[in-house]
Structure 1
């Protein structure tokens, strides 16, 4: 049986991962979520399956694989594969509402939020929050599905005109707009539930930042700097990763400029890592990721 399978749909994002695996001589099966699978066939594609399905996949195809992949990953787990960032993690990744609930349950601060499943409920939910506020799709990607509103009248008009964002699961978040101090958010990447690295990301607004290679384009105005996060932030990120069994992924936090409170707002299980890692970090996190994958393969044999 093959040692490692990687499940992914983006054609370019994982070239650095595959190059790092090839450099180490690791045989890998490249798996697409397309096609079909048999629920009665208990033969997984490999001993270890690495899930790399992106929430932003719905932006690339209306027939996105998010929910299909959840079922398939769960099936492969039942068939005996060790699944990295498995179905339960993907389910958390696919729900900002569940993410915020989990983070808040750990005693960590989040943006004040109301969750609805009907556009008709958005205005009443907004009455309990200050303006400006944002309306978010529960499943987003690369800042997609987020609209800022400065007044209740503007929000009413958007509801009436069909101008709200939409989420592929029909769930919306009505959320306090948090002014990030100095326009900076911190993304803390974890591997095996422990700090891997952290970067500060500045520019592009407080809700459409993306440090991945595919999201950074010339003239985007997005800047990234490697940082040693405050201990309380890295410990909090590790607690979040522990709570959801996140094998590899990022946690995003910003300092609320109004009161200095660190507010955690996003968990991202698709870590295709920072653009230009040697320039930003001075080292390539793919090397440590491959070390981790080799370790998991050894345990699965």
Structure 2
């Protein structure tokens, strides 16, 4: 049996990880979520399973694997596998509403938000906020499913015409539009619930940008290595610990109106920044492989 199984769906994102594993000689197999599985059959693909299914997978395939993967990972866990970023983590990754509730439960600031599941409730939710505001899909990815409205007339038109974001789970967030100080957000990456590195993303606003995509695309978005305040690092580690997040990015922006740091997104995919040697001066995949090697060794202890 192999030591490590990696479940993924994006065809290019994980080439650096696979290369790092190959360099270390780790016995692994990587495969997609295609095919079928039996809930009554307890076989596991490996003692350790690393989940790399992205929320943005629904943008690439209408028959996306998000909910299928949650059930599969839970089945493998019950069958004895150590699942990294397993079904419980993925369930929070797949709900911005749950992410915000988790963050707020820790006493951290979030954008003022209302959660709805019916179009008929959107206007009433918006009436409790001030404009401008944004509508967000509860399951998004790489900026998908976010629309900004400057006034109620614009929102009412979109409601009447059906021109609204769509979430694959039918849930929407009506949210205060936060003016971001200096036009930048900070993404704090964690590994094993501890700080790994951070980058500032400039020019995109709080629109759930993918560091790998944005870095290689002609997007007008710049990313630079960052050194966040220790209070932000501590907060990110608390979020990761509360979520039991093995590896993932946590995004925060400074509200230009009052200087409040507002945490607004958790990304359990933790798709490391492209061209890390240029941006960071080191490759975080090496530390990720250290972690995978440690977890795999413990599974055989």
TM over 0.5: yes
Q: TM-score, normalised by structure 1?
A: 0.98
1:66 is matched with 66
1:5 is matched with 5
2:226 is matched with 227
Checking the alignment, whether the CA contact within 8 Å between 1:203 and 1:209 is kept in structure 2 is no
2:239 is matched with 240
The alpha-carbon distance between structure 1 residues 30 and 175, as it changes in their structure 2 partners (threshold 3 A), is same
**What CA distance in whole angstroms lies between the structure 2 residues aligned with 1:183 and 1:268?**
21
Checking the alignment, whether the CA contact within 8 Å between 2:53 and 2:66 is kept in structure 1 is yes
2:23 is matched with 23
Checking the alignment, whether the CA contact within 8 Å between 1:189 and 1:198 is kept in structure 2 is yes
Q: TM-score, normalised by structure 2?
A: 0.98
Instruction: Find runs of 4+ consecutive structure 1 residues off by over 6 angstroms.
Output: none
**What CA distance in whole angstroms lies between the structure 1 residues aligned with 2:197 and 2:117?**
36
2:111 is matched with 111
1:129 counterpart = 2:149? no
Checking the alignment, whether the CA contact within 8 Å between 2:180 and 2:205 is kept in structure 1 is no
Task: Name the stretch that deviates more: 22-31 or 73-82.
Answer: 22-31
**1:31-110 aligned within 5 A:** 31-110=31-110
Task: Name the stretch that deviates more: 129-138 or 215-224.
Answer: 215-224
**What CA distance in whole angstroms lies between the structure 2 residues aligned with 1:172 and 1:228?**
33
Checking the alignment, whether the CA contact within 8 Å between 2:210 and 2:271 is kept in structure 1 is no
Shift of 1:228: 1.3
Shift of 1:64: 0.3
Checking the alignment, whether the CA contact within 8 Å between 2:141 and 2:209 is kept in structure 1 is no
1:120 is matched with 120
**1:139-178 aligned within 5 A:** 139-178=139-178
1:261 is matched with 260
Task: Name the stretch that deviates more: 37-46 or 285-294.
Answer: 37-46
Shift of 1:245: 0.5
User: 3-state DSSP class of the match of 1:239?
Assistant: helix
Shift of 1:270: 0.5
Checking the alignment, whether the CA contact within 8 Å between 2:185 and 2:205 is kept in structure 1 is no
Shift of 1:29: 1.3
Deviations 1:55-81 (A, max 9, x none): 000001110000000000000001100
Superposed CA RMSD in Å reads 0.8
